[in-house]
Amino acid sequence: MPWHWATSAMAATAVLLALQVALVLSEYAEPLVPGEQWQKQKPGWSQRGAAVNLPGGRWTNDAQDAFFDGSRLCARLRQPDTSFKTRCTHVIADQTFRVSAAGDFEPDGASEMLYDEYVRIDYPTDMVPGSWQQSSRNSKLQGSILETELQREDGTWVQTITSVLHWHFLENIDGTFYIQRAPCASLGVCVYSYVLKLDAKDLYCTRAVCDPIKDRDQCCDRVESCAAMTSCDRSQSLVPDLNGWCRDRACDQILDQDICCVPAAFCDGMQCLPGYVLKLNAHEIQCPQSMCFPEGDRDLCCEQQGVCSDLPYSSADCPVGKWFNSDSLCAQRQCNNVTDLGICCQPAMRCDLGLNCSHGFVPKADYEQIYCLAPECSETDHLLVCCDAAAPCSDINCGHGYYQLSDTYCGSTECNVTEDFSHCCLRSAECSTLQDQSCPYGYWFDHDERCLRDPCDSNDRSTALNLCCKPSEPCSSLTCLHGFVYKTTYLSLTCLLDECNMTTDLGRCCDVAAHCDTLSCGHGFTPDPLANDTYCPATSCDINRDRDLCCEAAPECAVAFTCPHGYTSWPDTYCDGVVCDDTRDRDICCRPAMPCTAVACPTNYVTRFDTYCRGVTCEIVRDLDWCCERGMALMYYRFLPTDLRLAGYTVVQMSDFYLYNQQIVVEGFDQAIFYCDPCDTPVNGREDPVNLGDGNSETKWLDYSRNGFYVKLPAAQPIFSYSFITGNDEAIRDPILWQLWGSPNDVDWVILHEITDRTLGESIVPTARATSTLQVSIEVPCFAPTASHIDNAANVTCEEGDLLRHNTNCTPVCQDGFTPNIDAILCQNGELTPDIFSCA
Ligand SMILES: *[C@@H]1O[C@H](CO)[C@@H](O)[C@H](O)[C@H]1NC(C)=O
Ligand SMILES: *[C@@H]1O[C@H](CO)[C@@H](O)[C@H](O)[C@H]1NC(C)=O
Ligand SMILES: *[C@@H]1O[C@H](CO)[C@@H](O)[C@H](O)[C@H]1NC(C)=O
Ligand SMILES: *[C@@H]1O[C@H](CO)[C@@H](O)[C@H](O)[C@H]1NC(C)=O
Ligand SMILES: *[C@@H]1O[C@H](CO)[C@@H](O)[C@H](O)[C@H]1NC(C)=O
Ligand SMILES: *[C@@H]1O[C@H](CO)[C@@H](O)[C@H](O)[C@H]1NC(C)=O
């Protein structure tokens, strides 16, 4: 093969590059890649594209500048006159080509070449290979017609005739021919840069027809790269074609020179690395290899471009909207201060198109007129060019119930409450959204209060407490209602809410006060009637504290209460009220007194009737005067008329007669016996003295001879007065003058009273019939001094006898041989003066 092709392949590379197709630099293959795969390229960069398989066949031996565009294969083909001309052909399926004698593409029919291969790899040509032979007999191959008997699986034989091609490998499947897998040899030739393996006759493709691409690695070996050529004639500037391949597995240093040794490449086919440009004479400079390498041959082929920074310019020298890119490269090695300005001044980006002010920044006022001095705005470099720092929301005081998030900003460099409030200030959640709404004592949960943020941080109890729990008003702000008192601990107590409310807090702060009526006022005091709506200043009343409040001094019984008859006042007692009450206080102030009958009265004294000692027991010293009075207890009395209303008249009459002790009819008077001696009463017995005591003024006593009558009491009793009731008729029979006698023993008698003056008598005795006289007092007589108390006195100490009438004298009598020390003792109202005498 002539070396031209390899040279041309090199050129084809350039063409392909120009056609935007480049070598695939497979990660797995060696850097210099076989020519059968090309890839569509984009300008400037090596990147993967759609794989393109060059058709197989021998055409590559006679072609340059091949490119394959879809189904169209074009290449410059060797002409009969050894010149090259571009020819194209359409490729169908796995068609293979060769260059015809006329210098054009023609299908590289496998048959002929296959036959050669068959021969070359020693297939027997007189028979059809394949496994069918083991189950056949009587085979006969005539030309391409195979006639044989095939054995079926049931052991029978079937006569079969088929047309075969040289490369057919047949198999017998139950008496029928099938094409077995094709032998690799049927490929004829491998794709570019590959040759059939030496043992290809024992190798098979995967299917009945070999696929030059899919079966390539099964059937073919790669040929050696031209790089292995050491025999190229460097004196003629021939070097190994680094993109080319030798004919066989190992390069033949002689035979392969024609395809592997190519002229060294010129610099002008190479693209310099960025920052470099080809030297002006690059087309004259030859690289040392068959291709120029941008890095290795950089300094050979390229020179550095000038950098814009070489120019004495800055962005200020660029027109508006452009920036001076000092890193940019000038067109040539030397920057031109005129022509390169257009290169170095590059379109800048307007702030409003290229940069969104980041969080916390706001566009400058003339944002739309500001450019980032760069192709693109970058936040790092241009933030402060385009934007101003926004004022932080914290410049606004949101006030109670709002909160701010950190890292929030106002819409401008200064906060404007009107505009920024709504996004700077967030409403905090209401305390009522908290689940746990308990507050400690002394605090109340304010549902309307707001937390520090939204939602409330319910995990932070202490914050919630500080915010949502408000101090309650102390109980001391509440005035307990009338009838209530502060609880004793009220200084440490609080109302429920921030304001004390009588309804809800009364029970919290106050106790029901004890009413004064629960206080027992104690001795000498009585509940103050005006304190009926007064309460002690505590839950219970205390006598020491509250007595003045609830009580008044009670009137002392001794002063303010008069005990009734039969009772005696009780010392140091007080009425049970501010005013003593006869009924209520009797048993408080008084005790039943002992009747004076317990006191033995001395001589000439009688026990006062119905009188009680001035104490519960009688004491002589105290009660003697009280219980005993001058008087005489007598059992017998005698009324003796001495003249009648009709003077000198003798018929005396009287309806009833009464004796009194202390104005009361004497005790036992109803059992008194009335009698007369002598008597001159009517014989019919109807007007006997007994009528005087019957209490019936219709009955009367009458005596024709003005005899008197006697009364005998059941027991001796003192009397102090008497009265009688006039008879029913005949006033002339009324006694006007009379005597009343008394006797203790019906032996010794004494005059108790005597009327001797008619005028007095008539004033006492009414003329009206059956009408009572006034009570007439008697004169109290005296007993003679008791002999037992006077030494040597006579048994009867008075000459006048044992009984002495009022206003009469006693003449003392001593025993014989003795003389009284006085001559007379006067009896007046039962009292002797002197009351004693002595005998000497
Ligand atoms: C541009 O370059 C020329 C030649 O080097 C020089 O004379 C001229 O002053 C330069 N102009 C400026 C503006 O630098
Ligand atoms: C600025 O924001 C707008 C709206 O979100 C967006 O469409 C645009 O791409 C952003 N520009 C930059 C440079 O990020
Ligand atoms: C704040 O904003 C309001 C409404 O946009 C405007 O009327 C007012 O003048 C602004 N105040 C200041 C101090 O800029
Ligand atoms: C006190 O509490 C009651 C019951 O809760 C309520 O009806 C009343 O309005 C409250 N009074 C005041 C002054 O708040
Ligand atoms: C308390 O006493 C006064 C005066 O005696 C009387 O007017 C008032 O009705 C009494 N109040 C009660 C509750 O008993
Ligand atoms: C006086 O009394 C005594 C004692 O009772 C008696 O013995 C005496 O006889 C009495 N004398 C006269 C004169 O009665």
| 334 CA distance to ligand 1 middle (Å) | 12
- 431 has pLDDT over 90: no
Do residues 709 and 762 share a domain?
Answer: yes
- Confidence at 648, pLDDT banded by 50, 70, 90: very high
Do residues 299 and 370 share a domain?
Answer: no
Report pLDDT for 814. 92
Which range of residues forms the domain containing residue 660?
A: 631-778
Q: Which of 416, 417, 422, 423 to mutate to test the pocket of ligand 3 (most atoms within 8 A of CB)?
A: 416
Do residues 742 and 818 share a domain?
Answer: no
Q: Is residue 217 part of a domain?
A: no
Q: Which atom of ligand 2 is nearest to the CA of 356?
A: 1
Q: CB under 8 Å to 355, separation ≥6 — which residues? A: 349, 372, 377, 378, 379, 382, 383, 386, 387
List pocket residues of ligand 3, CB cut-off 6 Å: 416, 418-419
Q: Of the ranges 94-98, 455-459, 556-560, which one carries the lowest mean pLDDT score?
A: 94-98
The residue among 418, 449, 471 that closes a domain is 471
| 323 CA distance to ligand 1 middle (Å) | 20
Q: Is residue 158 part of a domain?
A: yes
Q: Residue 498: CB within 6 Å of ligand 4?
A: no
pLDDT one-digit tens code per residue, 261-318: 888 888 887 888 888 888 888 888 888 888 888 888 888 999 888 888 888 988 888 9
Do residues 576 and 667 share a domain?
Answer: no
Ligand number, closest to the Cα atom of 787? 6
List pocket residues of ligand 5, CB cut-off 6 Å: 529, 532-533
Do residues 672 and 803 share a domain?
Answer: no
555 token code pair: 């009137």
- Confidence at 602, pLDDT banded by 50, 70, 90: confident
- Confidence at 758, pLDDT banded by 50, 70, 90: very high
| 502 CA distance to ligand 4 middle (Å) | 8
Ligand number, closest to the Cα atom of 415? 3
CA distance 763 to 199: 198
Q: Which amino acid is at 692?
A: L
Q: Is residue 27 part of a domain?
A: yes
Do residues 757 and 637 share a domain?
Answer: yes
Q: Of the ranges 262-276, 348-362, 606-620, 656-670, which one carries the lowest mean pLDDT score?
A: 606-620
Q: Which atom of ligand 5 is nearest to the CA of 532?
A: 1
Q: Is residue 447 part of a domain?
A: yes
| 423 CA distance to ligand 2 middle (Å) | 21
Token match 């497979």: residue?
26
| 533 CA distance to ligand 5 middle (Å) | 7
Contact 156, 99 (CB under 8 A): no
Q: Which of helix, strand or coil describes residue 203?
A: coil
The residue among 531, 553, 575 that closes a domain is 553
- 120 has pLDDT over 70: no
Q: Is residue 563 part of a domain?
A: yes
Q: Which amino acid is at 681?
A: T
Instruction: Quote the DSSP letter at residue 339.
Output: T
Task: List the residue whose alpha carbon is closest to atom 7 of ligand 4.
Answer: 503
Q: Residue 304: CB within 6 Å of ligand 2?
A: no
pTM, whole model, 2 decimals? Answer: 0.39
Residues 484, 489, 492, 496, CA torsion sign: negative
What's the whole-number mean pLDDT along residues 643-648?
94
Report pLDDT for 46. 27
pLDDT one-digit tens code per residue, 570-590: 888 888 888 899 898 888 888
Q: Residue 363: CB within 6 Å of ligand 2?
A: no
Q: Please give the share of the chain, as a percent, with pLDDT higher than 70.
A: 90
Do residues 400 and 277 share a domain?
Answer: no
Average pLDDT, the chain: 83
pLDDT one-digit tens code per residue, 82-106: 788 888 887 765 667 888 888 898 8
Q: Which of 324, 334, 337, 341 to mutate to test the pocket of ligand 1 (most atoms within 8 A of CB)?
A: 337
CA distance 513 to 536: 6
Q: Which of 515, 526, 532 to mutate to test the pocket of ligand 5 (most atoms within 8 A of CB)?
A: 532
Do residues 719 and 798 share a domain?
Answer: no
Contact 700, 725 (CB under 8 A): no
Report pLDDT for 64. 72
- For residue 163, count other CB atoms closer than 10 A to its CB: 9
Report pLDDT for 70. 61
List pocket residues of ligand 1, CB cut-off 6 Å: 312, 337
CA distance 249 to 223: 4
Do residues 820 and 687 share a domain?
Answer: no
Q: Which atom of ligand 2 is nearest to the CA of 355?
A: 13
Ligand number, closest to the Cα atom of 410? 3
Q: Residue 501: CB within 6 Å of ligand 4?
A: yes
Task: List the residue whose alpha carbon is closest to atom 9 of ligand 5.
Answer: 532
- For residue 116, count other CB atoms closer than 10 A to its CB: 12
Which helix (H) or strand (E) segment holds residue 721: the answer is: strand 721-725
pLDDT one-digit tens code per residue, 701-716: 999 999 999 999 998 8
Q: Is residue 652 part of a domain?
A: yes
Task: List the residue whose alpha carbon is closest to atom 6 of ligand 2.
Answer: 356
| 668 CA distance to ligand 2 middle (Å) | 139
Q: Is residue 415 part of a domain?
A: yes
Do residues 448 and 479 share a domain?
Answer: no
Compute CA 240 distance to the chain's CA centroid, rounded to the nearest angstrom.
91
Do residues 735 and 677 share a domain?
Answer: yes
Q: Which of 350, 351, 355, 356 to mutate to test the pocket of ligand 2 (most atoms within 8 A of CB)?
A: 356
Do residues 650 and 742 share a domain?
Answer: yes
The number of distinct structural domains making up the chain is 11
pLDDT one-digit tens code per residue, 759-790: 999 999 999 999 999 999 999 998 888 877 78
Q: Is residue 281 part of a domain?
A: yes
